[in-house]
Each structure stands twice: as structure tokens, then as C-alpha cells.
Amino acid sequence: MTERLHQAFHTWEEESVLPMIERFPERRAPFVTSSGIPLDRLYLPGDPDPDYLEQLGFPGEYPLTRGVHPTMYRGRLWTMRQYAGYATAEETNRRFRYLLEQGQGGLSVAFDLPTQIGYDADNPIASGEIGKVGVSISSLDDMARLFENIPLDQVSTSMTINAPAAILLAMYFAVARRQGADLNRLRGTVQNDILKEYIARGTYIFPPAAAMRLITDVFSFCRVNAPRWNTISISGYHIREAGSSAVQEVAFTLANAMAYVRAAIQAGLAVDDFAPQVAFFFNAHNLFLEEVAKFRAARRMWARLMRDRFGAADPDSWKLRFHAQTAGSTLTAQQPENNVVRVTLQALAAVLGGTQSLHTNSMDEALALPSEHAVRVALRTQQVIAFESGVGDTVDPLAGSYVVEHLTDEIERRATAYLDKIEAMGGALAAIEAGYIQREIQESAYQAQQSIERGDTIVVGVNAFDTQNTPHLELLKVDPTIEHIQRQRLADLRRRRDEAAVQAILVRLEETAAGQGNLMPLLIEAVEGDVTLGEICNRLRQVWGEYRAPATL
């Protein structure tokens, strides 16, 4: 068995790894410890169990337990992508350029609450919320200001937006066209995951069927026009932030993913036409070994689902590529400097679990939006892990650990049991409409909070090791005058645009929404014609209505 395993290793190395190394010469430096001990790319057991190769395989090959690329971080480090957005587009643009100067590898956009639920900044419902938890974007002009002096064909951008994702993506593509960029060259991700909004976050607009239509329209459009763009980032992050366990995070995320795959197939897409552009977004939580195993289990489960259940033939369709973010729900307002330690451990778990990109939270986020100092420390945390720890010098370094392999298997077993139950209910959408997934998360969150209040779970600085000496932090404050600025900009936009052309586009949008055509080309035309986010969403509300969540308690 050992001889067969090593022969398979050498074949894999020659066919998969060596060509990959040639692509990334910057990571060809010798990998040795501080004592001069050389590190191999991959370690193999001396006498594996018979199912070893089936369960683990090699990095970059089915079932992808050990990573989606043969060389992982020896070839190229993960993308350091700090999430940012507040106040006006100009303020966020300054933060973006600051982060790029500090060594960040990609952009990640946070939008304010009115933008997330499809309201313009001058809508009365937006009062008091403009720019508070993200950047305010109502028009193409706002989006152009957000990316001023940032060439979109040279950066990778992630946008955390869901219900109006197609509209914000249309704005992004329109800005890229203004810059003269080829959409075929654009790299990035739009979250575009509406099912977890019904489950965990609540920033939905339209009923599920209409929302799924927008998602599959994005799939179809990008397959032809922006093939390097990730059309969805299926999010377990917010499911975990709502209180789920690690097992539930994996199970409910993959259940949602299966629903999107089925919707795309039903819309006429072949699975291998869209699956390589599907990405995931997971939480990096506190229990270090469980988190590493969680990422490995999710990757293996997705490979099996795509190959065996959905018949995907392209190996890229089997690859669960994911962004990770450290757990906001674990940050404490008490002794906030302790959050640096929490974030470091969570980030390390994500790296050891094989993430493709990573956001590290700032120490002050339990108190306010992150200050420039705090966000720099958060970025430096990733850079220390990347360049000083050596954990990326060999692939899947914790593989073979008895506890890690046990946890990987057990998370897969328990998550599969959840998936089987959800499938028996008719799939994720039926389980959401019945309130089943929401109730499971609520019960998990309740039990976790009870454990903290009983003292069974220790949170340092909160229910143990408390102190009255809290350090002073300079907190970021959003200038309330930005509401006036944003409203005035919209008023100016509406005065100078061609109102007859705007109304004509909105009529065409309504007709297309009531029919079967792909909305993306018309959305791009609309935003280029200065139709605002709120105007588009309001017209779609007239056609599709708004979603009202069922009671789940």
C-alpha cells in the first residue's frame, strides 16, 4: 500500500504540481525551518488505511480534502482582502487606496443598510442610516467615485451585496466600461446569496422565486461576458454569526448551494457552464481544530456532491473555493485588545484550512467601524502569518493528525445527516419556508448563550478575568452631514438627466421582469442612463412584490 501511495504521489507531482510551480516563480524560494530542516511540499503516512487515498487524495485532486491547488501557498499566498466601506464613496475610496498601499491584495466592499435593501439615500426610510455600516451607493456616479483611480482590470474586487446584487454588479461593470476595461479581464466576486438572507440576515427585498431569477440571470450573463467573475459567494459566514454550530454552518451553506445549482440547471444552464464561477464564504471561529477540520470537510463534501449528485465533469466544478472572515460575533467590547489574539487564532485556522482569501477583523469592531490604526493591525496579522510563521510552506500541514482527521470525518457525517433531512423536506427553499433552518440556528444560538451565562464557556474579559481598566481607543465616527451630501447629489443627478429616457428604460425593465428575458443587459443600460438603485428596485417591487418572513419561534 505504501509503495502504491508513493507512486501515485510522484505521478501527481509530475502532472499537476511542477507545471503549477512554473507559473509562480516568486514562491520558489527554498522552504526550510529556522534550523535548516527542509520542508517537503506534502507529507504522506508510512502505512495508510486502505481508504486513505479515497478520503484525502492529493491537493488539487478529487476529493480535494487537502486543498484546491496542488501547491497551495507555496505557489501563491491567499488574497488578503480587508472588508471596508463607510460614509461617502470618496471616504471609502481613500480607505481602499490606503489598504492597497499597506499591501492588501484585493478590495472588499461593505455597503450601507439602505443600499443593501434597495433604497436611495434620499428615501425617508434611509434617514439616520446613510454610510453607517458601509458605503452609500445610489447611482453610477457614486460607484465611479468609489473606484476613482483604481483600475478595475488590475484589482480583484469582492462586493458583499445580495438582494440588489445584480444592480450593483451592473454599476461595477458600467464603471469598468467607463475606464475602458474589458469585462473579460475583470476578477472578483459578488456575494449574490439571497437564501442566507431569509435564514440569517434579513436584508431581502423580493420573494424567493424572483430573487432566484436575478441570481441565475447573473450566472448566464457572466458566463458569456465576464467569465473570470465569481457570480455567487454562498455564505456560511452569516449563518454562523446568527448562532449556528460549525456543523450547521457547513450543512446549511451546502444545502443553499444545492438549491442554486438546481435553479441554474432549471434555467437552462449546464452545470459545468456555471459551477467553476461559484465561490463560498465561511466563518473562521474560535475552536481552532474544529475550524480547520470544518473547511476540509466542506471541501470534500462539495466535491462529492458536484461530481456524484450533479454529474459535473469539469474538475474545476468540484472545487470549493472560499473566502474566510474571522468571527465578528466573538469580538468583545470589554478588553478589546484581546480581540487581536482571537483574530490571529481564527485567521490561522482559516489558513491551515486552505482558504483562498481572508479578511481579519479589527480589534475595535465591537465598538465602532474600524479605525485606520486598527485595520492596519488586522492586515499586519495576516502578513505576519504569511511571511513569518511558515505555516504556508507545506500543503495541508495538519493532515494525518488523529484529531483533525476524526473531526473532519465527524463534521462530514453530521452535516450529511442535516443535508439528508433537508433534501427529504424538498430542499433548502422548502426548509426555509417551513422555518426549519431558522429554528435550528435559533436553538443553537440560545444554547451557546446559556453556556456563556452559566460560565461553562469562558469568554476572557467578559465572564472571567475581568478588569475595570479598559484601554482608550480612538474610534471612527461617521460625519452625519454625509446624509445631506448624498441627498443633494441625487437631486443634482435627477435635474440633469434625461427624464423621458429614464422612464422609458423603467417601462422596459418592468416588461422584462414580468417576462422571461435576462435582466442584466437592461440593468447595465439603466444605470448608465442614470437610473438609480432605488428607482430600479421600486419598479421591480411593483412587478414581484416584497417578501414577508414567516414566524419561526
Integer CA distances (angstroms), 536 to 100, 164, 526, 527, in order:
33, 9, 8, 9
Q: Which residue has cell 456563556?
A: 452
Give the CA dihedral 419, 423, 429, 431, nearest 10 degrees: -80
What does the block give as the cell for 148?
Answer: 476613482
In sequence order, what are the residues at sequence separation of 6 or more whose Cβ sits closer than 8 angstroms to the Cβ of residue 34?
A: none
For residue 118, what pLDDT is reported?
98
Secondary structure of residue 434 in the 3-state scheme:
coil
* H or E element, residue 428: helix 428-433
Cell of 540: 421591480
- Cα separation, 503 vs 251, in Å, equals 44
60 with 70: CB under 8 angstroms? yes
The Cα–Cα gap between 367 and 326 comes to: 16
Surface-to-core class of residue 22, CB atoms within 10 Å of its CB (0-12 exposed, 13-18 middle, 19+ buried): exposed
The pLDDT value recorded for residue 307 is 98
Q: How many Cβ atoms are within 10 Å of 253's Cβ, its own excluded?
A: 33
Q: Which residue has the cell 491547488?
A: 69
Please, is 493 exposed, middle or buried when counting C-beta atoms within 10 Å of its C-beta (0-12, 13-18, 19+)?
middle
Tell me which residue has cell 441627498.
487
C-alpha distances (whole Å) from 301 to each of 139, 309, 525, 546 are: 40, 11, 40, 34
Q: Where are the alpha helices (DSSP H) in 226-361?
A: 237-241, 246-266, 271-274, 288-304, 338-352
Predicted pLDDT of residue 476: 82
Low-confidence ranges of the chain (pLDDT < 50): 47
Q: Say if CB 331 and CB 361 are below 8 A apart.
A: yes
Instruction: Determine the pLDDT at residue 36.
Output: 76
CA distance 144 to 124: 24
Neighbouring C-alpha atoms within 13 Å toward the C-beta of 311: 4
Contacting residues for 475 by C-beta, under 8 A, at least 6 apart = 364, 367, 368, 371
The three grid cell numbers given for residue 203, joined into one nine-digit string:
436584508
- According to DSSP, the β-strands at 322-326 and 278-284 are parallel
Instruction: Report the side by side order of strands in the sheet with 232-235.
Output: 79-80, 357-359, 322-326, 278-284, 232-235
Nearest one of 328, 334, 335 to 359, comparing CA atoms: 328
Domains annotated on the chain, with CATH: 76-454 (3.20.20.240)
pLDDT of 53: 63
What CA–CA distance (Å, rounded) separates 512 from 508?
A: 6
> Distance between CA atoms of 380 and 384, rounded to whole angstroms?
6
- Calculate ∠ Cα 376-378-384, nearest 5°: 95
Return the C-alpha cell found at 230: 465569481
Q: Are 243 and 442 in contact (CB under 8 A)?
A: yes
Phi, psi (degrees; rounded to nearest 5) at 221: -65, -45
Distance CA 57, CA 9 (A): 9
